[in-house]
Amino acid sequence: MDERLQKLREEALGKIQVSTLEALNELKVSYLGKKGEITALLKSMKDLKPEERPAFGQMVNSLREEIESQMETRRKQLADAARTARLAAEEIDVTLPAKKMHFGHRHPNSIALDEVERIFVGMGYEVVEGPEIEYDEYNFTKLNIPANHPAKDEQDTFYINSEIVLRTQTSPVQARVMEQGKLPIRMIAPGRVFRSDEVDATHSPSFHQIEGLVIDKNITFADLKGTLAEFARKMFGEETKVKFRPHHFPFTEPSAEMDVSCFKCGGKGCRFCKGSGWIEILGCGMVHPHVFEMCGIDPDQYTGFAFGVGLERIALLKYEIDDMRLLYENDIRFLKQF
Q: What is the CATH number of the domain that holds 318?
A: 3.30.930.10
On whether both 10 and 69 belong to a single domain, the answer is yes
Q: Widest CA span of the chain, in angstroms?
A: 123
Report whether 318 contacts 310 (CB < 8 A). no
User: 225 and 131: one domain?
Assistant: yes
Same domain, 26 and 116: no
Distance separating alpha carbons of residues 252 and 289, to the nearest angstrom: 8
Question: Are 81 and 154 members of one domain?
Answer: no
Beta strand 133-135 with 164-166 is: antiparallel
Residue 285 domain-assigned? yes
Is there a single domain that holds both residue 302 and residue 212?
yes
Residues 116 and 85 reside in one and the same domain: no
- Domain end position, chosen among 61, 89, 117: 89
Using the 3D structure, point to which of 24, 58, 89 is the last residue of a domain: 89
Residue 130, classed as helix, strand or coil, is coil
Which are the contacts of 112, defined by CB distance < 8 A and separation ≥ 6?
Answer: 311, 314, 315, 318
Q: Return d(Cα 114, Cα 119) in angstroms, integer.
A: 9
Any idea what DSSP says for residue 323? -
**pLDDT in the model for residue 2:** 65
Are residues 188 and 256 located together in one domain of the fold?
Answer: yes
The shares of helix, strand and coil residues in the chain, as percent rounded to the nearest 5, are 45, 20, 40
Give the CA-trace dihedral at 138, 198, 204, 134, to 10 degrees.
Answer: 20
Contacts of 67 (CB under 8 A, 6+ apart): 9, 12, 13, 16, 31, 32, 38
Domain span at 124: 108-335
Q: What is the pLDDT of residue 300?
A: 92
98 belongs to a structural domain: no
Q: Are strands 252-261 and 242-249 parallel, antiparallel or unpaired?
A: antiparallel
pLDDT number for residue 16: 79
Closest CA to 309 of 231, 195, 250, 241: 231
- Compute φ and ψ for 32, nearest 5 degrees: -115, -5
195 and 72 share one domain: no
How do the pLDDT tens digits run along the chain, 338 residues long? 467 777 777 777 777 778 888 887 887 777 777 777 777 777 777 777 777 777 777 777 777 788 788 888 888 888 888 888 887 787 777 787 877 777 777 889 999 999 999 999 999 999 999 999 999 999 999 999 988 888 788 778 899 998 999 999 999 999 999 999 899 999 999 999 999 888 888 888 899 999 999 999 999 999 999 999 999 999 988 889 999 999 999 999 999 999 999 887 777 888 777 888 898 999 999 999 999 999 999 999 999 999 999 999 898 888 888 888 888 888 888 888 88
Same domain, 24 and 143: no
Contact 294, 142 (CB under 8 A): yes
- Does the residue 94 lie in any domain? no
Domain count, the chain: 2
Check residue 1 and give its pLDDT. Answer: 47
User: At which of 55, 89, 123 does a domain end?
Assistant: 89
Distance CA(122)–CA(116), nearest Å, equals 10
Q: Residue 304: what are its φ and ψ, rounded to 5°?
A: -170, 170
Q: Are residues 77 and 116 in the same domain?
A: no
138 with 265, same domain? Answer: yes
Q: Are residues 66 and 112 in the same domain?
A: no
Return the pLDDT at 21. 81
- Whole-model pTM: value is 0.67
Region at 301 (left for phi over 0; alpha for psi -120 to 50; beta for the rest): alpha
